[in-house]
Amino acid sequence: MDWIAVDWGTSALRAWGIGGNGAVLWAEHSADGMGGLSVDDFEPAFLKLVGQHLPETGKIDVIACGMVGARQGWVEANYRAVPCLPLDPDMTRAPTDDPRLRFRIISGLCQDAPADVMRGEETQIAGFQSLNPTFDGVLCLPGTHTKWVQVSAGEVVSFQTFMTGDMFAALSAHSVLRHSVQTDGWDAKAFTAGVDDAVSRPEKLAARLFSLRAEGLLHGMPPATARARLSGLLIGAELAAARPYWLGQAIAIIGASSLSTSYANALAGLGVTATIADGDAMVLKGLAAARAQTSEVTS
């Protein structure tokens, strides 16, 4: 093992042991996300997950991205203002008691106006760029907080965050709509209809949301239809607001397969073709790029 790659988010911790040839030697996962840890819990949580893989002596480099570097994380990593390259070899060192660990955290990115921040996505962007070095266009990174990112000449030029995933989770679990959408089923036609409705009339979103409940009560709308239409309405409203980012641009979507496919299908309905890149693969590529930059600086 040459070093350890870490993606430490709000709800999960993932780590990979990387060999000298870049091969993944092992992978570990736990639910010890940043959101459930105090500052003194981070090192014990990390050692609990990967301790069996650590050498008995010597130091091992750990390169981490994500919310581990948030203000509520292990140690706050700085934000770098765009436009800038997605990665900076000057990373933040996390304090450790175990002498074997050299734990460093990748900086996030920020934008002054309109105010916006990202942590973790910059690493996925760097991973995508390592495979597509000449890409100029827009990257969509769907998730709890979806990012639309303009990249040009290798730099992140601007970005905008949409709380679409948060809104879907809140509405489906903590609003009156929870009675209408409790299912794992899916209705593709209802999703497309929701996207089209919200893109054409985003100002009607709040009313269209309540109609999901009413149609269930009055017309027996199936939960799978209501759930898919809810997703379509929210993503459609996002696409309407993000139109300056995707209209007439080369688009790539980076994220989990199912959600990325939903965004690609929504864009396709608007006449826009997008390519999809696996989010986990881009994280590993980006962490490897950060490690390579650090090695060049310290060598």
- The amino acid present at 58, given as its one-letter code, is G
Six-digit token pair at 235? 């993503």
Helix (H, G, I), strand (E, B) or coil at 52: helix
Cβ proximity of 101 and 53 under 8 Å? no
Q: How far apart are CA 272 and CA 165, in angstroms?
A: 22
Residue carrying the six token digits 């459609």: 236
Q: Rounded CA gap, 7 and 15, in Å?
A: 6
Maximum separation of any 2 CA atoms in the chain, in Å: 70
Q: What is the mean pLDDT of the chain?
A: 96
Each residue's pLDDT tens digit, 47-95 = 999 999 999 989 999 999 999 999 999 999 999 999 999 999 999 999 9
Taking only the tens place, the pLDDT of each residue in 276-294 is 999 999 999 999 999 998 8
Residue 177 main-chain phi, psi, to 5 deg: -70, -15
pLDDT digits (tens, 9 = 90+) for 171-208: 999 999 999 999 999 999 999 999 999 999 999 999 99
Q: Token digits for 209?
A: 């949301």
- Sign of torsion, CA 215 182 208 230? negative
Token pair in block for residue 156 = 């992140």
Q: State the average pLDDT over residues 251-275.
A: 96
Q: What is the dihedral of CA 208, 209, 214, 220, to 10 degrees?
A: 100
Cα-flanking dihedrals φ and ψ of residue 63, to 5°?
A: -115, 125
Task: Read off the tokens for 242.
Answer: 């993000």
Tell me, what's the pLDDT at 294? 81
pLDDT of residue 130: 97
Whether residue 297 is predicted with pLDDT greater than 90 in this model: the reply is no
- C-alpha closest to that of 293 among 78, 54, 59, 63: 63
pLDDT in tens, 96-136: 999 999 999 999 999 999 999 999 999 999 999 999 999 99
Torsion angles phi and psi, residue 98, rounded to 5: -75, 120
Nearest alpha-carbon partner for 71 in 115, 117, 30, 122: 117
Average pLDDT over residues 4-30: 96
In percent, the amount of the chain with pLDDT more than 90 equals 96
Contact between residue 6 and residue 104 where contact means Cβ atoms under 8 Å apart: no
Say how far residue 69 (Cα) sits from the centre of its chain.
15
State the pLDDT confidence band at 296, using cuts at 50, 70 and 90. low
d(C-alpha 142, C-alpha 6), whole Å: 20
More confident residue, 294 or 166: 166
What ranges in 175-278 are assigned the alpha helix state H? 188-200, 205-219, 223-241, 243-246, 257-268
pLDDT tops 90 at residue 298? no
The structure tokens listed for 166 are 């948060």
Residue 223 confidence (pLDDT) above 80:
yes
The tokens describing 30, both together, are 């736990």
Taking alpha carbons only, the member of 56, 242, 232 closest to residue 162 is: 242
Helix intervals (H) in 7-120 = 42-50
Which helix (H) or strand (E) segment is 288 a member of? helix 279-298
